[in-house]
Structure 1
Amino acid sequence: MYLKSGHEYADTELQLLSELLATLDDKVVEVTNLISVSVDPESAGLTDRGEYFIGVGFSAIQQYLTDTLTLTGISKRRAFDIGPRHSDRFTFIAVVNAAANWWKHSAEWVGQPTQNALALKTQEVVIEVTGTEYYPLSNVLAKLQGTRELRLSALLSNLVLWRSAVDEERLQNE
């Protein structure tokens, strides 16, 4: 939840998220460096390790999204369709949300026919954004940033833009 006075925001959760993402970025950089010198990063477990840290970051961002909506009166469905766009079909936030859901739930889908609406939507978004099921979280992060240098904290500027869009929507609904 954020507070706003005039044009200024007080957003403690964003500050905490920023600190966490910086810590996770250090881990992602460490893993990326190990991958660059590894003969077989996949067998060494490095790729899974990188996906893990990135997944934690996406899930923490998802928590921030939910927390930001507290007391705004805006539904998640509406909120995840406003703010910066990743593409014609998906907002930046919808992609982040799908990445978090992928990390949290994809183990449930292994070897199972996909019938759950959340699973179908999550897979649709992630695969359309990345074009692959391999290393989906790393690839989503790279696509959202437009670079191969993976930094979760690089997503913060779009979170701020989204929060402003949520606040504008809140004001329109009052």
Structure 2
Amino acid sequence: MYLKVGGEYADRELQFLAELLNNLDEKVVEVSNLIFKSVDPESDGLTDRGEYFIGVGFSVIQQYLTDTLTLTGVSKSRALDIGPRYSEEFTFISVVNAAANWWKHSAEWVGQETRSRLALQTQKIVVETAESLDYPLSNVLAKLLGTSEITLSALLPNLVLWRSALDTVVRENA
């Protein structure tokens, strides 16, 4: 949850999130450097390790999204369609949310035919964004950032833009 006084935001959760993402970035950068030096990063377990830290990052961002919606009266489905767009079809936030859901639930979907609307939407967004099922979270992060030099904290400016757009919607509906 955030507060807005005048034109300034008081957003303690964003500060906590930034601190945690910076800590995760240390691990992501460490793994990226090890991948670069490795002859076989997959066999060395480095690619899975990187996916793990990135997945955790997407999940804590998703928690921030949920916290931010507290007391706004804006539904999560509406909130996922607010703010900067990643593509014509998806907002930046909807991609981040799908990546978090992928991280948390994809193991449930292995070898299963799913009819869950959440599962199908998550899979669609992640597959279309990542363009590969090999290390999809790393690929989603790289696509969101537009670079192969990936850090989770680089997502923060778009989260701030989303929060601002959300606040505009809240004030228009007040």
Match of 2:136 in 1: 136
In structure 1, give the amino acid aligned to 2:11: D
Match of 2:151 in 1: 151
CA distance in 2, matches of 1:120, 1:158: 25
**Aligned to 1:9, what secondary structure does the other structure show?**
strand
CA distance in 1, matches of 2:113, 2:45: 27
Instruction: Please give the per-residue CA displacement for 1:90-141, whole angstroms capped at 9, x wherever unaligned.
Output: 0000000000000000000111112211111000001111111111100000
**Aligned to 1:87, what secondary structure does the other structure show?**
coil
Match of 1:118 in 2: 118
In structure 2, give the amino acid aligned to 1:113: E
In structure 1, give the amino acid aligned to 2:172: Q
Match of 2:14 in 1: 14
Runs of 4+ off more than 6 Å: none
CA distance in 1, matches of 2:99, 2:39: 28
Q: Write the mapping of 1:72-83 to structure 2, written as runs, cut at 5 A.
A: 72-83=72-83
Match of 2:170 in 1: 170
Instruction: Please give the per-residue CA displacement for 1:46-84, whole angstroms capped at 9, x wherever unaligned.
Output: 000000000000000000000000000000010110100
Cα RMSD for the two superposed structures: 0.6
Consecutive unaligned residues of structure 1, counting only runs of 5 or more, are none
Instruction: Please give the per-residue CA displacement for 1:3-42, whole angstroms capped at 9, x wherever unaligned.
Output: 1100000000000000000000000000011111111111
In structure 1, give the amino acid aligned to 2:168: E
Consecutive unaligned residues of structure 2, counting only runs of 5 or more, are none
Task: Tell me whether 1:43 sits opposite 2:34 in the alignment.
Answer: no
**TM-score, normalising length: structure 1:** 0.99
In structure 1, give the amino acid aligned to 2:98: A
**Aligned to 1:62, what secondary structure does the other structure show?**
helix
Instruction: Please give the per-residue CA displacement for 1:126-170, whole angstroms capped at 9, x wherever unaligned.
Output: 111111111110000000000000110000000000000010000
Task: Tell me whether 1:107 sits opposite 2:111 in the alignment.
Answer: no
Match of 1:89 in 2: 89
In structure 1, give the amino acid aligned to 2:133: E
Higher alpha-carbon deviation: 81-90 or 129-138 = 129-138
Higher alpha-carbon deviation: 157-166 or 109-118 = 109-118
Identity %: 74
